[in-house]
Structure 1
Amino acid sequence: MNIKFILPVLLFVAALGLSSSAEAACVTERCYLSGMDKDSEVMWDFMCTSGRNSGRWTRIKVPSCWETQGFGNYYYGWEEPFGSDETGYYRHRFKADGSWRGSHVDIVFEGVMTDTEVRLNGRLVGPVHEGGFYRFRYDISDRLKYEAENVLEVKVTKCPADSSIYRAERQTDFWLFGGIYRPVYLEIKPDIHFVDMAVDARADGTLRVRPCLSGAGSGAEVSVYVETLDGNRVSASVTGRGEEVISTVVEGVVPWSHERPQLYRVVAELHDKGGLRHRITDKIGFRTVEYRAGDGFYLNGRRIIFKGVNRHCFWPESGRTLSRDISLGDARLIKEMNMNAVRMSHYPPDKEFLEICDSIGLLVIDELCGWQKKYDTAPARRLVREVVERDRNHPSIVMWANGNEGGWNTGVDDDYRIYDLQERFVMHPWERFRGTDTKHYPDYNYVVNSTIYDRDIYFPTEFMHGIFDGGAAASLSDFWDVMMKHRAPAGGFLWALLDEGLVRADRNDSIDCRFDLAPDGILGPYRQKEGSFYAVRQIWSPVRVTTRTLPEGADVTVAVENDYMFTDLSECGFTYELADVSRQPGGSYTATVALRGQVAAPQCAPGERRMLPLGLPAGWDSHDMLRLTVTSPQGAEVYTYSWPIGTGNRLQKRLLGSFTAQRPEITEDDTHVCVFHAGNRYTFDRSTGRLDSVVTPRGHFSLTGVPKIATSGNDCSGLNCYRDGDSYCVEPRYDDGRWMRWVFAPGEPVRLDYSFSVHGEADFIGLGLDYPEDKIIDMEWVGEGPYRVWKNRMEGTAFGCHRKTYNNTVTGESWLYPEFKGYHADCRAVTVNTTEGSVTFIPSRPGLFFQMLRPQAPRHDGNGYTTAGFPDTSFGFMHAIAPVGTKFQHPSQLGPSGQKNMQLNYVPYSGSLWMILQND
């Protein structure tokens, strides 16, 4: 079979303008034997020895994880015994071009799990490679048949023979796969060639290059120069002899940072025996990363505050075999959350992901595998070299992690600097090490104590565990406020980016997140956005608008903080929108933009605060809502802040509208009171105070129950019913100070007045009614949305008009977002559409939370920390709501907003709630 793809390294021959075949022969060719990603359709012969579809030769896509192609068995990490005897046998035929004679040819594997034995034309090409997350290569120059068919055979053993590799890579908290899961290709170089080069490019233009050569004589010279990515030189050539380090200063470079990821190309040329022998290139960024003991990490002289997340390489249908599109999508989602960093837990990523981090601007911690057990020194030493030599020139990488949570071999901590010319900091995630404290999953009290007493640089490399709908952004604001007061802060990394849910062919293609082990992402398996996605985006916005309530008056200003590292806010864009809310009878709520305008961007350096005049026109406060959109210097939306205008009385009156209702009629007997109002009949039970039934012209409407005070018993001793002018009032009687009254008045919807007090602490505070869940179609409302909130995750919503259809989503177990059930903040009006008609509630006061049903608890929430408290009602209006925890912490361990609620200064909770039934 002919080789499928032939690509010059970095696709750079044309850019160099090589005009002769002699010069063209001086570059590296890359010839793919496999496909390039999960979407490629390159097939090899294959046989798996056990499990599904085993014991016979067939065909398989390469690259792929063989489990996702229907072979072998599924295993998840440490949770179950892993002693797989699966072995995969691969066979592939290809022709080698005759022009390669006399060249150096390597076969390169970007990643194989796990032990890999390679034969070409029946002969072993080298020792078995051990280690599943690393690039490795063999010299096959003397084993190729040129202009003839070659037979490549690869034996892959899923279970490592080396016990330390087994412990480091297979006794883990992630899915275990087998197979050639990253690309395979040939690299063809001249016989005298660069093996590689290490680069150290500093923010001041200092450049050092250390070449590694093969076949070169003692008189070989290496020249180096720098150019822009479009081929314009920015430096003269500098020459050195052999493998000596070449140093120069490039004037006028733009430093690389995550905010301005300026890249250049370094070109190295090898001259030997009178001519150009080999030319290689690499993309680089000029930046300086420093570790300052007892202080922090610095990039180009500015303190680094990591706003980061942990990422696994994963896709539901292909396991660890990805594509550039997936990697680019993940990086963009991380940036969209206003994050600036990503930790490559718990192994090195696909090289494309690092290239993308270089180009769009993300700070990276690159990590050797070793989940909680370390490699023995011999394999660790070899694998450290493989990681560093592959990744060392990426400007996005700012430090190395030598394993995870106990998986570090301290004997190789200093090996990184052997291969890394930049000598980046080496850290141990979870450990107090070399002046850093990266403790995983600290509770709030730990963070407070660290801030008060500790002098080590503090940045938890895993915190706020995002299982189900807990953690992630829940209590992040509380933690972040304290963390930023630390004497040596460096930020932190949330766990984790995505739910690692695998499509199981043996379970009708259902998605398996392995109980409570892998549904811990801010995103779903297919990158569906949870509520925490938007909350993190607000909390970590580099332009923080901290004004919570709009001031009255003509000259509206809001407080802004610049949380960038390098960008002045004068480089950003600010625009406003004023909008009006309306609703046609029987229609949806609509927000219509009335005015748009530009806001003059303020001069505000990083770390500074300003009051920003919005320059709103006269009469701005006659509108219902304001949006302020901030854009980055590159034009991307940073965040859109939104506010309701005024207390809501004007909006409330407009939404209530004109209401036709005559003087209510009453019928009663010893057991019930019936009130006829606006064409509807309301029946109350005299003994229980319960609203027993509602009948509309369309028929029965199943809204029932005593309006339940969510924090106390609902025992009622009866009803007080009386006329108040033309109105009729129904008051359930309580003996504990609670007061409630239904008011049926001419020209007004039904109104429920209430007042109550709460004694002690409570998960939630409010009142509600019952309605059958199976009759609910959707809800539409004016308020914060569309995502639900928790007491300790109020961020990430937008004030406006929202609508969502009923779902029974359990976050992390199903992924139809936003979730229908839950608490919805600052609800000014809500309409619930049902099979029996619709009911609209309009509260008399702003700031209440609308409770829609009670979310189903996750099946595997063993400790209950992420199952927040809810009243036993269908529709509720809450003055206070419950917080949510994380996988490892109860909400009470997560700081101020994770605590229970209490009544403030003896003032009862009170208000009114209008209810409108629509049965058209």
Structure 2
Amino acid sequence: MSARLLLLFTGILCLQTATAQENQYQYLSGTDKDHTVTWDFYCSGGQRKGQWTTIAVPSNWEQQGFGSYNYGHDKVKTDEYGLYRYRFTAPENWRERRVDIVFEGVMTDAEVKINGKLAGPVHQGGFYRFRYDISKLLHNGSNLLEVKVNKMSANAGVNNAERNGDFWVLGGIYRPVFLEVKPLVHIDRVAIDATAKGQFTVHAYTTALSGEYTISAQVQTMAGKAVKEAVAVPGNNTNAYTITQSVDHPATWSAEAPNRYQAVIEIKKGNQTIHRITQPFGFRTIEIRPHDGIYVNDVKVIFKGVNRHSAWPETGRTLSKAISIQDVNLMKDMNMNAVRMSHYPPDVHFLDVCDSLGLFVLDELTGWQAAYDTIVGRKLVKELVERDVNHPSVIAWDNGNEGGFNRTLDGDYAKYDPQKRPVLHPWERYNGVDTKHYPDFNYLVNASLYDQDIYLPTEFMHGLYDGGMGAGLADFWQRMLLHPRGAGGFLWAFADEGLVRTDKNGLMDTDGNHAPDGILGPHREKEGSFYTIREIWSPVHITLSAITTSFNGLVPVENRYDYTSLAQCRFGWQLLRFPSAGRKEKTDTLATGTINPPDLAPHTKGFLSLQLPAGWQEADALQVTAWDHHGREIITRSWPLQSPADVVRQFSAPVGKMNVVSGNDTLAVDNGKGVYYFSRTSGLLLQILTPKGKISLSGGPVLAGIPQQLKEFRSGADSSGFFVWARYEGNGFLQVKWTFQPGVPVKLDYSYSFKGEAAFSGITFRYPEEKVTGLSWQGDGPYRVWKNRLHGNLFGSWYKAYNNTVTGESWVYPEFKGYHANVYQATFHTTEQPVTFYTGNAGTFLQVFRPQAPKGASNNNTHPAFPEGDIGFLSAIAPIGTKFQNAAQMGPESQNNLMLNYTPVKGTVWIDLP
């Protein structure tokens, strides 16, 4: 043998020796939705049935154009099956190895054959990792894998728990498939218990080890630096070993500081390493303290959580780590610290990301209002816990959902979990925790006053369409914080579960009102509630409502972190100047500065001290931003520094002349910029004409929602200019005065009064919606608001193009139509001419047309009342409810508006033309 060949042969032997110590993985499928492998495929029913062809794996076959679609609520479901075939190669040296084939998830019953022989019993349960030892079934060289997948299970309990749930029913090998190759003497799995005080215990399950073997464990940093010397125990012909050691002052894991370590577990024979695995973990302790709260590392935690389905529109439940990273970052951006897996275990990479970025996780066994039978359920609990036991992010197990509890399984979780994490029953009282779903505000108040159980609603503020979620959350959250045994809660839900239907030309389908209930759209489009939640759940809680002339630079702040001092955060301010009305230029930054972070411990209050430059009062707005110790923006708050009156003082002096023409029923007033036509019969504006053409503003002002009759109409001149005056009476009154001066915006003063309850109040006009192309405004934005969802927007200068979005049924956000808060000025861009309005009152709401009702709505809870007009200037607006509650049940902010006497409400609007 030549020296060169000898060197090559020696290198191969060394490589085989080295790799034999670690598990080897060979993917038979792709790794995610973006990296797939083509397998042969046959589908028995639905689209493209009855023919052998190919399919991308992993995937749900519906999203590849096969089979039929069903939602879980469908009474009759299709029962097609799929046949998969794939050839792979096994090298000769695998004869001296243990080879498992591992399926991360198959919907729903999977029969697996290798070279025509069954690998093991049919696996039932679509959301779980399972494996078969196929070592003795392999041939040297080419091998044939065959999998028969039944979309519906032969087990009624599996169908009841999984296939009849409130989510899409899909089929296929939708998560990766791989071969796991390891030595004949090996470690099967480990389960770690690492407490916040540094007690480290690893339970290792192996092939039986004789006395010539040892098994050891060493705690390392994630970079591989030893924290302690390895602790070894000798083999004793068993297959379960417990190894313990103590680590001094470990950096603990929490959602705020996700510190991780790794354990290296080795089997040795003498000095030779036979097998080694490396397992990340975190030092962390979970406790439910009865009649008190839930503690993580001896700290009482308030969970700010959301429920998440594993779904992507084009690929169904076949996801990727990139989506997991995106989703966790979106949750962290909303200042969430927790997520509930609804209603099944997620991809393992999602838990990996929760571990590394920091989210507390409720991991859930499937069971939507119906449970697995005990035989199958026991197998699936084992698969669930053995896969996920070492994730520090997992802090509890959910044994089903909303009545889908097989109570016989409650004790099974602890068999595989040395940490003995709590077991919950989402929707009911269990284990000292009240997880009631969709409580109304009165239930919450009563629970906080009288209940002794820990309060943790695992679903609340149902986000169907644009309802719930952020709307009403401020009231709910404030009351939750007052609950002496409150532990937070989990919003429903993270994202609309929409599927792109391959049988309907790419239609995005949310199954009516069953699945459009997210804070985000199917592709993670942000609804307005995203920013409301972000502000309400900010751990840097800023309570300053307005900046007045007495502002001394001190901004009240509360630290709502559980573990972190505000000294670890970073703060900054900006002074802003906005473009003039109707312009789309960017906002100018006049000055910036940093703020020394206050050394405030968790759950304490203090101040941010802003050192602003001289003349800061001349800016249009002040913004303050906080970043956490990881550099993530926590919150930005903004305040106007000018009043609406300051804006209109910038109008130029009158110039030119007036002209008034009076007809039988029409009064025309020309101020040099436009001719305003009024009806003497109704007192209302009819239209505006300018040298450039018509502006179709008409039909106003009228008192929104309160019928009135014209009692008096007159016009003339006074010290302020030419006026048009009208008074209306009915339930209360409306009085208006138009004032015209040459060459300047027209002024409209109004006052009104009524007695009683109303969804909204103010004045409105008519304008053809089809003529509007966009809106630019100065005020809170860029999202619309409801009476019970005013948080989250910033005061600034905004523009958005026209859209007819119905939240949750189309996904161009922000929605164009709706209520807009604290508007100083607004320009409607039209196919005629732009028309600009200035308001004279801080806090004025602008009504922009009327959103359409969702087609799938079964009630009016999520379709609040709007005035009949198209453009309105309002002092009060309507709240919005949830899928299950009307707005009145959702707290103080969610009540209708009430005027107890006839004290007039006064306002002013200016109309400016180009």
TM-score bracket relative to the smaller structure? over 0.9
Residue of structure 2 aligned with 1:238, choices 231, 240, 250 = 231
CA shift digits 1:179-232 (9 cap, x unpaired): 000000000010011010110111121100010011423554211001112211
C-alpha separation in 1, matches of 2:103 and 2:125: 12
Residue 438 (structure 1) aligns with:
435
1:804 to 791, 797, 800: 800
**Aligned counterparts of 1:37 and 1:558: Cα–Cα separation in 2:** 47
C-alpha separation in 2, matches of 1:834 and 1:530: 26
Residue 720 (structure 1) aligned to one of 701, 714, 718: 714
Check if 1:192 corresponds to 2:189: no
Distance in 2 (CA, whole Å) between partners of 1:95 and 1:349 is 30
Q: How does 1:383-462 map to 2 (within 5 A)?
A: 383-462=380-459
Alpha-carbon separation, structure 1, partners of 2:468 and 2:733: 38
Distance 1:725 1:488, change over 3 A: closer
Measure, in 2, the Cα distance between the counterparts of 1:194 and 1:554.
66
Report the equivalent of 1:866: 862
Q: Determine if the alignment matches structure 1 residue 894 to structure 2 residue 887.
A: no
Structure 1 residue aligned with 2:783: 787
Matches within 5 A, 1:486-565: 486-553=483-550, 555-565=552-562
1:222 is aligned to 2:215: yes
- Tell which deviates more after alignment, 705-714 or 819-828: 705-714
Counterpart in the other structure of 1:568: 565
The answer to whether the aligner puts 1:49 opposite 2:44 as a matched pair is yes
The Cα of 1:25 is off from its aligned counterpart by: 1.1
Amino acid at match of 2:38: M
The answer (yes or no) to whether the contact 1:550–1:556 under 8 Å persists in 2 is no
Aligned to 1:296: 293
Identity over aligned pairs, percent: 49
Letter in 2 for 1:128: V
Structure-2 change in CA distance of 1:106 and 1:273 (3 Å): farther
Q: Deviations over 1:696-750 (max 9, x none)?
A: 1111111111301113114324521121147211112323432111111235311
Per-residue deviation at 1:688? 1.2
Matched residues in 2 for 1:765 and 1:790: separation? 14
Q: Distance in 1 between matches of 2:586 and 2:667?
A: 38
Query: What displacement does 1:367 show?
Result: 0.3
Structure 2 CA distance for aligned equivalents of residues 917 and 775 of structure 1: 16
Which residue, 63, 68, 71 being the options, matches 1:73? 68
- Counterpart of 1:698 in structure 2 is 692
Q: Which secondary structure does the structure 2 equivalent of 1:505 belong to? A: coil
Amino acid at match of 1:900: N
Instruction: Write out aligned runs for 1:302-317 (5 A).
Output: 302-317=299-314
- Three-state SS of the structure 2 residue aligned to 1:574 is strand
Worse overlay, 378-387 or 661-670? 661-670
Does 2:727 align with 1:738?
A: no
| In structure 2, distance between residues paired with 1:799 and 1:241 | 68
Give the whole-Å Cα distance in 1 for the aligned partners of 2:249 and 2:901. 63
Give the letter for the 1:867 counterpart.
H
| More deviation, 658-667/59-68 | 658-667
TM-score (structure 1 length as normaliser): 0.96
Q: How many Å apart are 1:614 and its aligned residue?
A: 1.3
SS at match of 1:385: helix
C-alpha change, 1:91 and 1:21, in structure 2 (3 Å) is closer
Counterpart amino acid of 1:825? A
Name 2:260's counterpart in structure 1: 263
* Corresponding residue number in structure 2 for 1:708: 702
Give how far 1:869 is off.
1.1
**What is the CA–CA distance in structure 1 between the aligned matches of 2:705 and 2:578, rounded to whole Å?**
33
Q: What secondary structure does 1:649 align onto?
A: helix
Q: Structure 1: how far apart are the matches of 2:843 and 2:586?
A: 20
Partner of 1:366: 363
Counterpart amino acid of residue 470 in structure 1:
G
Partner Cα distance (1:30, 1:587) in 2: 59
**Could you say which residue in structure 1 is the equivalent of 2:157?**
164
Counterpart secondary structure, 2:622: strand
Counterpart check, 1:63 vs 2:58: yes
CA shift digits 1:744-786 (9 cap, x unpaired): 1235311111011121011001111100000001010111000
The runs of 5 or more residues in structure 2 that have no matched partner are 1-12
Amino acid at match of 1:770: R
The residue aligned with 1:753 is 749
* TM-score of the superposed pair, with normalisation by structure 2: 0.96
Partner of 1:680: 674
- Cα deviation per residue 1:88-120 (whole Å; 9 max; x = unaligned)? 000000110122121100000000000000110
**In the alignment, which of 818, 832, 841 is matched to residue 836 of structure 1?**
832
Deviation digits for residues 814-836 of structure 1, max 9, x if unmatched?
00000000111100111111111
- Aligned partners of 1:19, 1:552: CA distance in 2, in Å? 77
Give me the whole-angstrom Cα distance separating, in 1, the residues matched to 2:720 and 2:825.
Answer: 27
Q: Is the 8 A contact 1:37 1:323 kept in 2?
A: yes
1:85, CA displacement in angstroms? 2.5
| The 10-residue stretch of structure 1 (103-112 or 238-247) with the greater mean CA deviation from structure 2 | 238-247
Tell me how far 1:336 sits from its aligned partner.
Answer: 0.6
TM-fit CA distance, 1:580: 1.9
Q: What SS does the corresponding residue of 2:728 show, helix, strand or coil?
A: coil
- CA 1:744 to 1:589, structure 2 compared with 1: closer, same or farther past 3 Å? farther
The offset of 1:138, in angstroms, is 0.3
Counterpart in the other structure of 2:7: none
Deviation at 1:486, TM superposition (A): 1.1
DSSP 3-state at the match of 2:382: helix
Give distance in 2, aligned partners of 1:726 and 1:36. 75
Q: Please name the residue that 2:148 is paired with.
A: 155
CA change 1:210–1:265 in 2 (3 A) is same
Of 771, 777, 786, the residue aligned with 2:773 is: 777
Q: CA deviation at 1:588?
A: 3.4
Aligned match of 1:141: 135
Q: Secondary structure at the match of 1:352?
A: helix
Structure 1 CA distance for aligned equivalents of residues 36 and 107 of structure 2: 20
CA RMSD of aligned residues (A): 1.5
CA distance 1:718–1:161, change in 2 (3 Å): same
> Partners in 2 of 1:31 and 1:354 — Cα distance?
22
Q: Secondary structure at the match of 1:602?
A: coil
Change (3 A) 1:419 1:893: same
Contact 2:40–2:55 (Cα < 8 Å) also in 1: yes
Q: What residue is the counterpart of 1:32 in the other structure? A: 27
Pairing of 1:603-614 with structure 2 (within 5 A): 603-614=599-610
Taking the aligned partners of 1:589 and 1:831, their CA distance within structure 2 comes to 14
SS at match of 1:368: strand
Match of 1:11 in 2: none
- Could you tell me which residue of structure 1 aligns to residue 106 of structure 2? 112
1:381 counterpart residue number:
378
Matches within 5 A, 1:868-883: 868-883=864-879
1:593, distance to aligned residue in structure 2 (A):
1.0
Which residue in 1 is equivalent to 2:10?
none
Tell me how far 1:649 sits from its aligned partner.
2.6
Equivalent residue runs for 1:323-362 within 5 Å: 323-362=320-359
User: Secondary structure of the equivalent of 2:179?
Assistant: strand
- 464, 480, 483: which one pairs with 1:483? 480
Q: Does residue 580 of the first structure (1) align with residue 577 of the second (2)?
A: yes
The DSSP-based 3-state class of the residue aligned with 1:578 is strand
| 3-state DSSP of counterpart to 1:683 | strand
Bigger drift between 531-540 and 690-699 goes to: 690-699
Query: 1: distance between equivalents of 2:823 and 2:640?
Result: 11
Give the Cα–Cα distance (whole angstroms) in 2 for the partners of residues 680 and 861 of structure 1: 44
- SS at the partner of 2:31? coil
